[in-house]
Amino acid sequence: MSVNVDNALLVVGPEALDSAIAAVSDPSVPIQVRGQLYAGLRRLRLRIDRVLRPVTQELEMAMVAADAKQWGPLKLSWRSVDVKWPVNDEANWGDNQVLSDLTEWRVNPAYRPFIKEIPAHLEVDTAALGEAVHMGDPAALEFWTLLKEKRYRTDQGKTASLSVSEGKAA
């Protein structure tokens, strides 16, 4: 890629970007130098994001229309929007059905890490459960499904999200 800077032609290739990224994260490089590199990389990222945003939306819509989950290294996933955990609402701290369910589930050693005891009530540890679901833990996925079925976890829908794998496409 070439860029015209003050009437001088500057050639920037992947090696220059890799070097700049390495320097920004290297604590032995003086902070003033890292700051300047960071500012340049940040401006570049903002410009790239502005250019890619409409393309991203177009790709998301095309993949949804084609019912495609992956095109080469490009993957389409879905993110929940406006997630709520009614199971942890203060109104449910004394609800016998919720407490009974959580107490019963807490006996299961696979679910126990995802239920925490707060003085006087139990709650779902949403951070621990979310991390385990993200990692594909079968018990976490099963417990998450149970919570969804009971409407102890709700969301307002899903939104498409693109990601690009750095390895070879499956």
Residue by residue, pLDDT tens for the chain (170 residues) are: 444 444 444 456 778 888 888 999 999 999 999 999 999 899 988 988 888 888 888 898 899 899 988 888 888 888 888 899 999 998 888 899 999 999 999 999 999 999 998 888 899 999 999 999 989 999 999 999 999 999 999 988 888 777 777 765 44
Contacts of 108 (CB under 8 A, 6+ apart): 139
Rounded Cα gap, residues 148 and 4, in angstroms: 55
Query: Could you give the strand order of the β-sheet that contains 74-80, starting from the edge strand earlier in sequence?
Result: 70-71, 74-80, 158-164
Nearest to 11 by CA among 25, 23, 1: 1
pLDDT of residue 88: 93
Q: Which two tokens stand for residue 72?
A: 């080469």
